[in-house]
């Protein structure tokens, strides 16, 4: 059912949240339970809430108009949030963390890798790895679904973007990424630079995990060079053949930053989206049955291809609804460069503006009965009745995720490929809970067993 037009009413103006500790404000409260705290603010304080975070003025933007204002209309007035700026400790100065002209240059350099003809070739790679995975599973075995999806999407992005076989690296990358993410929250502390400057176990584990990731990336670069594939059509070949703003070839450090950023960002969020989709399908058998019917009728037993993506609308709706309920990127932050006005309030320069897909995607004004899993919310009439930034799982504006279409295609093709052969059943009725790290992980493993279809 389309959303009532009254939900498009102008957003509510500023309400301050004044509780918290001196100077650091709500820092520890948001660290303890970020999803709960942001939902609490939106439900009890309105569409624009001011508070203090890490010693800075902060604002929660909980209406699509405000989010569009920051991500699109006024995007030039913002840089990345302090948390993402601190992510340079891991990612360096790659696409995700760079700013200004450097970011524009990096984006122009990488954009050709996501053009239509390249997406077609990536589809073949995705389906091939999906078939390999489904043939490896056996009925009744126990699968840690997130671990399986992380492995699968890592292999796909490594082969598609970098022409590399990551089979030998999958387990070590997964462990290193888990170590990094579990310690990333400490970067949100007001004195994190001091904390990471001390010889603590926290720093040692972080640096060890970073070293594993660095070794993986540098090995990929060296293997590409040794094979003489600098001019190959994959992204790593393009990067090896590229020049920086001064006309010099990219240094190994620059290559490392771009490859690591895309390797991590290009597989983790997709794996998490897939994991939550399998979880929701297992909990909603009628939706799973409709999905199977569509896949069987469209594919008729053959592997899915790029051309089939547009012919699987219900599969895409299932994924859209899963990503609505469990957006892998659960929060987006920006830092204002200059004072500006929003909702009748003055937002000072140096303010943190938080925009949470998790909060907006569960707003009943735009998604009635928001906790209910309902793929039919994404029928065209319903989709078009909602304001654009009521749903923004990949961000928006000039810094929208460069691999958005790649991710959607990959999820649709993998769901179709794996669901052709298997139906997955949960091994426990307990809810897994949420663990909002850099991405929105399940708090406990989602253990499933594959059941052969037909």
For the chain, the structural domain boundaries read: 1-92+330-392, 100-322+396-454
Mean of per-residue pLDDT scores for the chain: 90
Least confident of 8-17, 74-83, 98-107, 204-213: 8-17
**Gap between the Cα atoms of 143 and 453, Å rounded:** 17
For residues 247 and 416, the model is more confident at 416
Shortest CA distance to 411 belongs to which of 344, 295, 315?
315
Q: Say whether pLDDT at 229 is over 70.
A: no
Residue 28: per-residue pLDDT: 76
> How far does Cα 331 stand from its chain's mean position?
10
Quick one: average pLDDT of 97-124? Answer: 90
Q: How confident is the model at residue 230 (pLDDT cuts 50, 70, 90)?
A: low
Q: Say whether pLDDT at 86 is over 80.
A: no
The percentage of the chain sitting over the pLDDT mark of 70, rounded to a whole number, equals 93
Residues 281, 285, 286, 292: what is their CA dihedral angle, to the nearest 10 degrees? 70
Tokens of 91: 């990612």
Residue 384: per-residue pLDDT: 93
Tokens of 66: 């405000």
Quick one: average pLDDT of 426-430? Answer: 91
Q: How confident is the model at residue 88 (pLDDT cuts 50, 70, 90)?
A: confident
Q: Are 392 and 360 in contact (CB under 8 A)?
A: yes
Q: Say whether pLDDT at 231 is over 60.
A: no
Q: Say whether pLDDT at 345 is over 70.
A: yes
Q: Say whether pLDDT at 191 is over 80.
A: no
φ, ψ (nearest 5 deg) of residue 413: -65, -40
In 3-state terms, what secondary structure has residue 307? helix
Q: How confident is the model at residue 181 (pLDDT cuts 50, 70, 90)?
A: confident
The partner residues of 403 in beta bridges, in order of sequence, read: none
CATH architecture, domain defined by 100-322+396-454: Orthogonal Bundle (1.10)
**Pairing mode, strands 48-53 and 422-426:** unpaired
Number of neighbours of residue 82 by Cβ within 10 angstroms: 20
Residue 177: per-residue pLDDT: 85
Residue 83: per-residue pLDDT: 75
CATH topology of domain 1-92+330-392: Cytochrome p450 (1.10.630)
Residue 272: per-residue pLDDT: 97
Q: Are 358 and 440 in contact (CB under 8 A)?
A: yes
For residues 19 and 434, the model is more confident at 434
Q: How confident is the model at residue 351 (pLDDT cuts 50, 70, 90)?
A: very high
Which ranges of 97-200 would DSSP assign to H, the alpha helix? 100-110, 116-136, 145-162, 170-184, 192-196
Q: Say whether pLDDT at 199 is over 80.
A: no
The enclosing H or E element of 425 equals: strand 422-426
The pLDDT tens digits for 251-306 are 899 999 999 999 988 899 999 999 999 999 999 999 999 999 999 999 999 999 99
Contacts of 428 (CB under 8 A, 6+ apart): 447
Residue 7: per-residue pLDDT: 63
Q: Are 337 and 77 in contact (CB under 8 A)?
A: yes
> How many angstroms separate the Cα of 237 from the Cα of each of 94, 197, 258?
17, 36, 13
The percentage of the chain sitting over the pLDDT mark of 90, rounded to a whole number, equals 62
pTM for the predicted model, two decimal places = 0.93
The partner residues of 423 in beta bridges, in order of sequence, read: 451
Least confident of 182-191, 210-219, 256-265: 182-191
């Amino acid at each position: 059912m389309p959303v009532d037009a009254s939900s498009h009413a102008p957003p509510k103006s500023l309400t301050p949240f004044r509780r918290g500790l001196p100077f650091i404000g709500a820092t520890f409260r948001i660290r303890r339970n970020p999803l709960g705290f942001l939902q609490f603010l939106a439900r009890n304080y309105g569409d624009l809430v001011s508070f203090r975070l890490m010693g800075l003025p902060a604002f929660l933007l909980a209406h699509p108009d405000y989010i569009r204002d920051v991500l699109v209309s006024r995007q030039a007035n913002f840089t990345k949030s302090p948390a993402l700026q601190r992510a340079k400790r891991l990612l360096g100065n790659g696409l995700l963390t760079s700013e200004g002209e450097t970011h524009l240059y990096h984006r122009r350099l990488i954009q050709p890798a996501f053009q239509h003809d390249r997406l077609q070739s990536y589809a073949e790679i995705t389906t091939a790895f999906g078939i390999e995975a489904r043939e490896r599973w056996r009925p009744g075995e126990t699968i840690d679904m997130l671990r399986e999806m992380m492995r699968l999407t890592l292999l796909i992005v490594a082969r598609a973007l970098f022409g590399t076989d990551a089979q030998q690296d999958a387990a070590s990358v997964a462990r290193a990424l888990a170590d990094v993410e579990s310690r990333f929250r400490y970067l949100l502390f007001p004195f994190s630079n001091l904390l990471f400057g001390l010889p603590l176990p926290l720093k040692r584990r972080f640096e060890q995990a970073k070293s594993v990731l660095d070794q993986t990336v540098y090995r990929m670069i060296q293997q590409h060079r040794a094979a003489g594939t600098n001019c190959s059509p994959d992204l790593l070949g393009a990067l090896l053949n590229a020049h920086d703003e001064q006309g010099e070839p990219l240094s190994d450090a620059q290559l490392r930053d771009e490859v690591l950023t895309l390797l991590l960002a290009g597989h983790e969020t997709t794996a998490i989206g897939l994991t939550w989709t399998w979880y929701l399908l297992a909990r909603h058998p009628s939706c799973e049955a409709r999905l199977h019917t569509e896949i069987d009728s469209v594919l008729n037993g053959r592997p899915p291809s790029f051309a089939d993506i547009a012919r699987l609308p219900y599969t895409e709706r299932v994924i859209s609804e899963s990503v609505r309920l469990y957006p892998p990127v659960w929060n987006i932050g920006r830092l204002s460069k200059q004072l500006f006005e929003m909702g009748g309030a003055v937002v000072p320069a140096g303010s943190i503006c938080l925009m949470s897909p998790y909060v907006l995607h569960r707003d009943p004004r735009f998604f009635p009965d928001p906790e209910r899993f309902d793929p039919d919310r994404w029928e065209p009439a319903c989709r078009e009745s909602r304001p654009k930034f009521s749903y923004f799982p990949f961000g928006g504006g000039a810094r929208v995720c460069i691999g958005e279409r790649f991710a959607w295609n990959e999820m649709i093709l993998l769901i179709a490929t794996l669901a052709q052969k298997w139906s997955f059943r949960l091994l426990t009725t307990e809810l897994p809970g949420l663990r909002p790290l850099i991405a929105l992980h399940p708090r406990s493993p989602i253990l499933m067993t594959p059941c052969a279809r037909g």
